[in-house]
Amino acid sequence: PDASGAFLIVLFICAVVLLVIWIISIFAPLFLVNFKAYFALQFNLERLDVFAGFARMFSVMVLLEVVKNIFKTILILGISFAYLYGLFAFIRSIVDLDFDLALENTTVFIFNGFILLMIPLLAIAIGDAVLQWFNFRKQIKMSPEEMKQELKETEGSPELRARQRQRQRQIASSRMMAAIERADVVLANPEHYSVAIRYDPQRMSAPIILAKGADEVALRIREVAKEHEVPIAQIPALARYLFNQLDIGESIPAPLFEAIAMVLAWAYEVKDTGMNKDLPEISFKPDVLKPGRALI
């Protein structure tokens, strides 16, 4: 064939080789591990934890993966720079050639450069797949204790996760306490429960639970409420019901509208007058209990 035909043949061969390498890089690991490793990938909210993420980032396995990727990058860049260096010398050598001969030499040069780059890439893809296969076989042969140890190295120790959860609870508690100053009233069972309620008629269709707590947390809620001059209504049955039936951020159910409206009216009057008035007689009919919730 002429030079232009040879050039098209080389391009076709390059495209086929690229397609084969792409297929191998995608499907080889799947067949090597019988698809099990890939189906093990599941959505897990705990993996979004920032502290656990740092523990995984600096595990031995992840560091080895980083080193491997750096080696791949250096190898490919080295080959590319060597090819570019040869390209400049090649361009100088074909300046004085006629067009057909220059095109033929260019075709050969491109093909050789393509092979020079594809051979190490193919070797890396096959080597990576083999390493994954050995690692997978090693994992399924591990004893329970070894699996536990490797999980600890990857995900972080149970003690670390416990500290992370404790820290998260502390942050959530701090935010809840900071929100109490925006409450309209705090309902209390004097010793056991406290529930802070807020109602903004411009933004809310019903009052919401702003904060709640039991025992020591309940005491802290009442202390913060006093600091910010939020009225505290001692209504044990209603406070206990709201604590057990509603979560923070939930709206007051319709059967309790009348009772809560009376409490809010009392709280607004206390705020406006600055005087502590007696609570009106408040009765309520509990809503249907939520599954898993207790009234007392």
For the chain, how many structural domains are there in total?
Answer: 2
Averaged pLDDT for residues 106-128: 77
Tell me whether residue 288 is in a domain: no
99 and 241 housed in the same domain: no
157-205 pLDDT per residue, tens: 666 666 767 666 666 567 777 788 888 899 998 778 999 999 988 888 8
Pair 14, 142 in one domain: yes
Indicate if 204 and 149 belong to the same structural domain: no
- pLDDT, greater one: 19 or 265: 265
Examine the domain organization and report whether 35 and 147 are in the same domain. Answer: yes
Please tell me whether residues 61 and 106 are part of one structural domain: yes
Interhelix angle 144-155/50-57, nearest 10 degrees: 110
Which range of 32-46, 102-116, 136-150, 162-176 scores highest in mean pLDDT? It is 102-116
68 and 33 in a common domain: yes
Residues contacting residue 218 through CB under 8 Å, at least 6 positions apart: 188, 189, 191, 192, 193, 194
pLDDT tens sequence across 274-288? 777 777 777 766 654
- Quick one: pLDDT at residue 157? 61
Q: Say how far apart CA 7 and CA 145 lie, in whole Å.
A: 59
Domain that holds residue 258: 176-273
pTM value is 0.42
Q: Any residues with CB less than 8 A from the CB of 287 and at least 6 apart, and which?
A: 245, 253, 254, 255, 256
Please classify residue 108 by burial: count the beta carbons closer than 10 Å to its beta carbon, then call 0-12 exposed, 13-18 middle and 19+ buried. middle
Name the nearest CA neighbour of 258 among 237, 277, 283. 283
Mean pLDDT score of the chain: 72
Please indicate, yes or no, if residue 166 is contained in any of the structural domains: no
